[in-house]
Amino acid sequence: MGNNKAHADHRYIEALLTNDSLILKEIYEKFAPKIVGYIKKNSGNETRAQDIIQETLITIYKQAKEKELILTCPFDAYFFLLCKRKWLNELKKNTSKEVTINEEVVSIHDESAGYADETLAFEARNKLFAQVFDQLGKACKELLKATFTIKSMEEVALKLGQSYGYVRKKKSLCIGRLTKMVQDSPKYNQIKNLL
């Protein structure tokens, strides 16, 4: 996103990556009250707010880990926007409850909104990938788990009692199948732009 110079608040992302409880505590102290206030005002409670905050932090962590997310804007608006959208999605899902949204006029920095959009798209991708992976055949699932956790293909081949060439070919076929499954999914268009 634009220039790549990290904002001072990038330390919150670092804290997620290193599981630094002191700074993680600071995240709750500094940013949670506003989110809790928003969720409570919009048909939620503290328990739900705690869940939403935790889920959002995990998503940010995953994105930081896989995509090497560098935050170049303040954490506050980005984090609030993410939690807010997550909560609104949740409300929409719940058909039996009547929804009243007390929308506040919050001026959100454009850059933060851009970051939040990226994170939400990343989350949508993860959700779709998890669903698709779940539908993959058992043999492929096991082979992929082995190749990605063991790393050394020679070792995997040895473990599975197959040749190196066979395992490598199989791996590429299984990922190819996942690729095809995602492209055939009706939700593909929602995540296509992320690529």
Interface residues with other proteins (CB under 8 A)? 16, 19, 21, 24-25, 28-29, 32-33, 36, 45-47, 50-51, 53-54, 57-58, 61-62, 65-67, 90, 93-96, 125-126, 129-131, 133-135, 144-145, 148-149, 168-169, 171-173, 175-176, 178-179, 182-187, 192, 194-195
Instruction: Output the smallest distance, CB 132 to other proteins, in A.
Output: 8
Q: How far apart are CA 49 and CA 188, in angstroms?
A: 30
Specify the amino acid at residue 113. A
Q: How far apart are CA 55 and CA 16, in angstroms?
A: 12
Residue 29 or residue 110: which is nearer to other proteins going by CB? Answer: 29
CB 79 within 8 A of CB 38: no
DSSP code per residue over 150-176: H--HHHHHHHHT--HHHHHHHHHHHHH
Structure token digits, residue 134: 């779940």
Instruction: Output the smallest distance, CB 10 to other proteins, in A.
Output: 17
Structure token digits, residue 152: 């050394």
Structure token digits, residue 156: 């995997």
Residue 32 or residue 113: which is nearer to other proteins going by CB? Answer: 32
Residue 44 or residue 81: which is nearer to other proteins going by CB? Answer: 44
Q: How far apart are CA 157 and CA 58, in angstroms?
A: 33
Q: How far apart are CA 146 and CA 131, in angstroms?
A: 20
Q: What angle do CA 160, 164, 165 make, to 5 degrees?
A: 120
Instruction: Output the smallest distance, CB 29 to other proteins, in A.
Output: 7
Instruction: Output the smallest distance, CB 153 to other proteins, in A.
Output: 8
Residue 8 or residue 130: which is nearer to other proteins going by CB? Answer: 130
Instruction: Output the smallest distance, CB 113 to other proteins, in A.
Output: 23
Instruction: Output the smallest distance, CB 18 to other proteins, in A.
Output: 9
Residue 28 or residue 158: which is nearer to other proteins going by CB? Answer: 28
Residue 153 or residue 158: which is nearer to other proteins going by CB? Answer: 153
